[in-house]
Structure 1
Amino acid sequence: MKAIVDPRQARHDPKHFMANGAILQNPEQPRRVEVLQAGAEAAGCVFEAPDDHGPGPIAAVHSPEYLVFLQTIHERWMRIEGASEEVIPNIHPDNRTASYPRSAVGQAGFHQADTSCPISADTWASAYWSAQTAISGAAAILDGERAAYALSRPPGHHAFGDLAGGFCFLNNSAIAARYLAGKGLRPAILDVDVHHGNGTQGIFYRQSDVLTVSIHADPVRFYPFFWGHAHERGEGEGLGCNLNLPLPRGTGDGDYMRALKTGLERIAAFGADVIVVALGLDAYEDDPLKGLAVTTGGFAVIGGAIASFGAPVLFVQEGGYLCDGLGANLASLLEGFQAV
């Protein structure tokens, strides 16, 4: 399987993370790239560098105001006397229609949903090449590849059109899907991360040319809390083009596969001719952010089920955090896919 990665993705090295009021080490570490690349290579992937497709595909998903913010905010933040080394918000508007401030502190609160997405001097470059990795994966599908793996890091599915959150800055899966749709394909995004892809849902919620399906731990008591509930079906033109399949905490392989079957049935009904898999591996039973209990063998079954659908597939890396099983889980899923 063709695979894409760029070493500049490892330059983003976030330090700050807050959970339950405690300041902890950020789990979205650069070493994830090394571990995931080794796992993909164990499954037979051959890596190459991404092409630079320019800002256009990114700007097709994210607002220019937000992109200027991401590129300039750290330099502006460093002019604040006594500021932290990373841009971390401490105030937020109550809605997206609130007035837009000129202050760097105010704009950080407007464009960063939480404290898990600190911005350093290297964040923009890493996020940019993470997105270009996903776009290059989409280009490989357009060139006739049956499947491709985009090792995109930092991840993307919690990023809205103008809002970072949950370790995410640019929504790589959404960017890839919009790119494919722009080339005349009918993509579905299948998000298998343990957390709901709230940014992806938000981007496409009122659109009908991209289907969004997410299988995740029930957000009633799990991040991202405010999105990912079963009644969220899309609005306007997009009504019926969003499917959330929340699962009880601790769900294992069997019930997970039943949800996946439902998701693939909806993708078939949509008439999708390509699937973008937002590939979180944090549904693993021993993931540090655990919410579900998928086994290493279960990931192979997930991969096989996706392959059986019969459409070209672009895997775009999302979550899956440093633990003993991370690389093996990726290898298991990709091997399961390639065995069909």
Structure 2
Amino acid sequence: MSYSNITHFINPSTFILMGIPGLEEAYVWISIPFCTIYSLTLLGNFAIVSIVKMDRSLHGPMYYFLCMLALTDIMLSTSILPKMLAIFWFNSREISFSACLAQMFFFKCSSLVESGIFMGMAFDRYVAIFHPLRHSTILTNQVVAKIGLAVVLRGGILTIPLPLMAGRWPYCKTNIILQPYCRNASLVNLACADTLASNYYGLFVLFCVMGLDVIFIAVSYIQILRAIFNLPTKEARHKTFGTCTSHLCAMSAFYIPDVFSSLMSRFGQIVPLHVHILVSNTCLLLPLMLNPVIYGATIKQIWGRVLQFFTHKGA
């Protein structure tokens, strides 16, 4: 049966993920960069976690937050990329209704958790610069663990209403999703029900949760930059700013592509669908691969451990 003929039903047991409509003939070639991104994301982030776990000198707040970020990147990429690659390689387009809701939950929850972790990292840098002598007493292991738990609970609790609402809607238009994975917006477009509550809730989460994270981070870094510029010597300013470089780069890699992808979705009518899907997914997944590179290149302890590993292996 052709996918295009599945148009009239109520509450489907499965959805059909179309991947990237119009580029089916190039799926094998398209899969190569996405498979590379996924492989490097797993390799890089597992390496970060392993290095921090093995090296006791890295058992501190900044590195604990970095491990949280690495695990979140692994969860976010794993929530969508295996199914995407299955579509490209095996034409495995079907996804059950419950699996679709689960994928939507883990995708959105991971994004909220990652935003919260960046906020925690900004707080860590603020304390390190303004209260350097009390940094270890303010951000103890217990405090860092509580921040991490709060961020995870916040992400999970705020995400749960989205799949719960989507699970109660009737679907009588089509079961075809013009994306390689399930997103809340995709199910909103397919539902034959009033989805206004879901739309408003999604906007609330975007602006009042992630927006507040961005504001907190911005205020923290305004204070940090003011403190840096007030330092007496250029060397001191450079050294202090260097401790924030990796965090600023990782945040930029997370938030800027997300804003760009949102703008693409708003003006999708003037952009071909396959271009929009390719660009938005690349913007989403590329930062997950870049985070280990950014931190590995800017934090000397991590880069030193990587070099030490390969040197001993080659010896």
TM-score, normalisation: structure 2: 0.25
- Between structures 1 and 2, the one with greater helix share: 2
- Compare relative contact order (CA 8 Å, sep 6+) and give the higher one, 1 or 2: 2
The structure whose Rg is larger is 2
